[in-house]
Structure 1
Amino acid sequence: MSDLFDSPEAADASKNAPRPLADRLRPSTLKDVIGQEQVLGSESPLGVMLASNSLGSIIFWGPPGVGKTTIARLLADETELEFVQISAIFTGMPELRKVFESAKLRRKNGRGTLLFVDEIHRFNKAQQDGFLPHMEDGTILLVGATTENPSFELNAAVLSRAQVMVLTRLSIEDLGRLMARAERELGYELPLDESARDALLEMADGDGRALLNLIEQVAAWKTDVPLDSKALAQRLMRRAAVYDKGGDEHYNLISALHKSVRGSDPDAALYWFARMLKGGEDPRYLARRITRMAVEDIGLADPAAQAHCLHAWQVYERLGSPEGELALAQAVTYLALAPKSNAGYAGYKKAMAAAAKTGSEPPPKHILNAPTSLMEEQGYGAGYAYDHDAEDGFSGQNYFPETMDRPSLYEPVERGFERELKKRQEYFAKLRAKRQNG
């Protein structure tokens, strides 16, 4: 097998093989890059750096297929730096030392080095520290690429020496321009009608490289009749949405779901719920999080919300997937339409702050039990009023430490069931004032 691939015939075939479309369409200047105006525009930080000849180290943060590697390569061309590319996945400290030594030698000969590190977040903290002296003395100009949030994945020391620039998913308009450029390179239009062209752009999901790969597949088809979107879908598998259950997308989407519920938008909440399920999220994680939403954002405005979530969680455990997800979806819908209140949550946080501030202050003696004669002599339980014996079943006694001013922790809203609780709270406050003044 190896002889076949090592043969001269195989080598000739390799030379004659067509270059991938993504390689053929690689931009030759920064002006040719499609999209990312927020980074490449003349008034952008990178544009200002280039105009003032003050290019510094950069971290490109963005999803796959949006041009991180291409832009880094073009930056090296425009600044006449040697472009060196490594991947954190395949590079260890021995290889890094060789890269740095080569860069030092190159610098002595009057040429700088732009070191492009793909997946830079894969390097551990110690490896990241290894870049610092070479960044500081000018041996390298570091350009890192990451799909993960640099704030969490990169050393503070590296971040302080590099500017983070965010690259975004390509828009449908950007992808359309890329498709037009690909068709000019191919020399003909793809055999697709308008609906199929739109569907192909959506399938790429903002990833330019994915779009070019899809275009290559379509270009290989032999058909005299333009395909519609249905025929296209039958021939092509839709690209899976980017979703890292342990990464930024996970936290971004659960944040979107939570805020949609809080914002009483059931349509948006269901959409983000479905996006997470489509991405492979564990339904049990979603069950736990929506239950937390019921506690935090609805609370006592609708006490049934929490029970509804727990019941849906139990239904999922009994039915499993995919039937059980419907119960969770119904819980999401219920939460979005429920009256909202964070009064219980806010009251809890105030109570925790008050407890931290007052430290070890004891309860007032009149509400302490006195199981021994010594404790009775110390005044434990003296003066306690049994509420059931009091008028209206309410004594109005103080239950806070004697040295502490009475705080207001739970402040119910005028929504849902908390409207009734607010009435009760006000009723007891008036009685308390009456008892204390009486």
Structure 2
Amino acid sequence: MADLFSSDAPADPEDAADDAGRPLADRLRPEALDDVIGQTHLLGPDGTLRRMIAAGRLGSLILWGPPGTGKTTVARLLASQIGYSFEQISAVFSGVADLKKVFEKARFTRQSGKRTLLFVDEIHRFNRAQQDGFLPVMEDGTVVLVGATTENPSFELNAALLSRAQVLRFQPLSRDDLQALAGRAEAMLGRPLPLAAEAREALYGLADGDGRAMLGLIEEVMAAARPDEVLDPAGLLTVVQRRAPIYDKAQDGHYNLISALHKTIRGSDPDAALYYFARMIDAGEDPLYLARRLIRMAVEDIGLADPAALPQAVAARDAYQMLGSPEGELALAQAVVYLASAPKSNAVYTAFKAAMAVAKKTGSPTPPMVILNAPTKLMKSEGYGEGYVYDHDTPEGFSGQQYFPEAIGRQDFYAPVERGFEREIKKRLDYFSRLRSKKAEDQG
């Protein structure tokens, strides 16, 4: 791998002063793809981008991943390596007029025999109509579009645009990647980080996979630490502001974590469930949103296998509303552990869906006359309620009458599982089924 730092020192003192004023992340920006840290699945010997470069032709791409993982840098270096003109715009600051200027410039450049790689940062910020504006220039070869987004392209980009571009997933930088980046920073700055081993590990944790953020933290540490001072983890936290986790309550991070929480509770892993619950609380999720989701999990994934699951979830919500944060969050954590530890059954959930499907399919057949009330003489004369058996008057407290409309016939929706309290319910329903069959035989 090339040494980034051997030629970084400017010869002119004024240039050195200007260089020192630039952010560390900018000064450490790689000058070749071989210098990029991370994304080996894309840039390694058998990586997707390496194969494209070897073929000498680059198609339109969507680079999807969290901040600080090298999307902009890789786009710029791709253009350089493959010999394309590089143009960059941001969807945050650009409009239709800006796009037209870039397209015209790309057409002019193409006439001179050179193609243009148009890098669009935050491409998901463009609306649907603006995204459609890229399609003609992509199809006629005016530009090779490389868009960068931190949001799930499946939700944020037009299907037509996605069909013309390959989506490449950028991963957060690993601990080893961050360590290598920190080493480069130390080499450029000419001195080691004033951090004990535990504090260095804490620094990688604070970076949260974001290389640019870590370099910003390094600059803060280098500027704040006193000569010969070596900071421990507590000292590090007094110097730098704690960085908020990557999480957008309206976007992909939100849905990923709530999905993880739901599935770990369903999978009966209270430790993993607590971890994802803590992740969401730490990132600033609304605890009442989590309370609502826990209530849903109680009825969807536990149901009558543990009839106390729903009251537990509802009580946790009520406790949070009474106590507020942070005390009330413990009640929600208790509900997380309870639900994850409870026996699981989706029998009620499945039965409800099946009943809804039959109800939608069969229209409005009249219930059996035997179970209809007869509040008027006319209705009584028409046979409403005739032959109804009051269940409490039978020895078993069970009449075994036919309650489904005749046009549908008896249906079986609810199938309790052999887990938790539903085991007892299953015994009870089997008993009722035997009684129903026996009474039908007796009446036959």
TM-score with structure 1 length normalisation? 0.93
How far is 1:237 from its partner? 2.4
**Residues in 1 aligned to 2:432 and 2:191: alpha-carbon distance in whole angstroms:** 80
- Which position in structure 1 is the counterpart of 2:139? 136
In the alignment, does 2:109 pair up with 1:110? no
**Residues in 2 aligned to 1:388 and 1:196: alpha-carbon distance in whole angstroms:** 72
- Which position in structure 2 is the counterpart of 1:3? none
Unmatched runs of 5 consecutive residues or more in structure 2: 1-13
Query: Helix, strand or coil: the match of 1:70?
Result: helix
How far is 1:370 from its partner? 3.6
How far is 1:238 from its partner? 2.6
Equivalent pair of 2:120/2:148 in contact (CA under 8 Å): yes
How far is 1:372 from its partner? 4.6
Change (3 A) 1:398 1:44: farther
- Which position in structure 1 is the counterpart of 2:395? 391
**Residues in 2 aligned to 1:53 and 1:283: alpha-carbon distance in whole angstroms:** 52
- Which position in structure 1 is the counterpart of 2:434? 430
In the alignment, does 2:178 pair up with 1:183? no
- Which position in structure 1 is the counterpart of 2:248? 244
Unmatched runs of 5 consecutive residues or more in structure 1: 1-10
- Which position in structure 1 is the counterpart of 2:104? 101
- Which position in structure 2 is the counterpart of 1:301? 305
- Which position in structure 2 is the counterpart of 1:92? 95
**Superimposed CA distance per residue, residues 28-48 of structure 1 (whole angstroms, 9 cap, x where no aligned partner):** 221211111122234333332
Q: 1:39 aligns with which of 36, 39, 42?
A: 42
**Residues in 1 aligned to 2:19 and 2:109: alpha-carbon distance in whole angstroms:** 35
Change (3 A) 1:38 1:362: farther
How far is 1:26 from its partner? 1.2
Equivalent position amino acid for 2:279 in 1: R
Query: Helix, strand or coil: the match of 2:38?
Result: coil
Equivalent position amino acid for 1:396 in 2: G
Query: Helix, strand or coil: the match of 1:393?
Result: coil
Equivalent position amino acid for 2:157 in 1: L
Q: 2:322 aligns with which of 282, 295, 318?
A: 318
- Which position in structure 2 is the counterpart of 1:360? 364
**Superimposed CA distance per residue, residues 253-300 of structure 1 (whole angstroms, 9 cap, x where no aligned partner):** 111111121122222222211111111111111111111111111111
How far is 1:378 from its partner? 4.6
- Which position in structure 2 is the counterpart of 1:5? none
Equivalent position amino acid for 1:237 in 2: Q
How far is 1:16 from its partner? 6.2
In the alignment, does 2:301 pair up with 1:266? no
Q: 2:296 aligns with which of 278, 292, 297?
A: 292
Change (3 A) 1:109 1:380: same
How far is 1:225 from its partner? 4.1
Equivalent pair of 2:390/2:399 in contact (CA under 8 Å): yes
In the alignment, does 2:176 pair up with 1:173? yes
Q: 1:68 aligns with which of 66, 71, 91?
A: 71
**Residues in 1 aligned to 2:19 and 2:301: alpha-carbon distance in whole angstroms:** 63
In the alignment, does 2:41 pair up with 1:52? no
Change (3 A) 1:239 1:372: same
Query: Helix, strand or coil: the match of 1:348?
Result: helix
How far is 1:153 from its partner? 0.6
1:210-289 matches, cutoff 5 A: 210-220=213-223, 221-289=225-293
Equivalent position amino acid for 1:97 in 2: K
- Which position in structure 2 is the counterpart of 1:4? none
**Superimposed CA distance per residue, residues 10-35 of structure 1 (whole angstroms, 9 cap, x where no aligned partner):** x9997464332212221122121111
How far is 1:192 from its partner? 2.0
How far is 1:142 from its partner? 0.6
- Which position in structure 2 is the counterpart of 1:193? 196
> After alignment, is 110-119 or 401-410 more displaced?
401-410
**Residues in 2 aligned to 1:16 and 1:218: alpha-carbon distance in whole angstroms:** 19
Query: Helix, strand or coil: the match of 1:391?
Result: coil
Query: Helix, strand or coil: the match of 1:192?
Result: coil
**Residues in 2 aligned to 1:172 and 1:193: alpha-carbon distance in whole angstroms:** 16
Query: Helix, strand or coil: the match of 2:231?
Result: coil
How far is 1:404 from its partner? 2.0
**Residues in 1 aligned to 2:265 and 2:125: alpha-carbon distance in whole angstroms:** 35
**Residues in 2 aligned to 1:53 and 1:408: alpha-carbon distance in whole angstroms:** 63
Equivalent pair of 2:305/2:343 in contact (CA under 8 Å): yes
Q: 1:27 aligns with which of 30, 45, 52?
A: 30
Change (3 A) 1:73 1:270: same
In the alignment, does 2:122 pair up with 1:122? no
**Residues in 2 aligned to 1:389 and 1:225: alpha-carbon distance in whole angstroms:** 87
How far is 1:214 from its partner? 1.5
Change (3 A) 1:186 1:12: closer
Change (3 A) 1:359 1:48: farther
Change (3 A) 1:331 1:239: same
Query: Helix, strand or coil: the match of 2:396?
Result: helix
Equivalent position amino acid for 2:87 in 1: V
How far is 1:75 from its partner? 0.9
TM-score with structure 2 length normalisation? 0.92
Equivalent pair of 2:57/2:82 in contact (CA under 8 Å): no
**Superimposed CA distance per residue, residues 128-160 of structure 1 (whole angstroms, 9 cap, x where no aligned partner):** 111111111111111111111111111111011
Equivalent position amino acid for 1:183 in 2: E
Identity %: 64
**Residues in 2 aligned to 1:249 and 1:16: alpha-carbon distance in whole angstroms:** 36
**Superimposed CA distance per residue, residues 185-235 of structure 1 (whole angstroms, 9 cap, x where no aligned partner):** 222322222212212111111100011112222233342243322322222
Query: Helix, strand or coil: the match of 1:165?
Result: strand
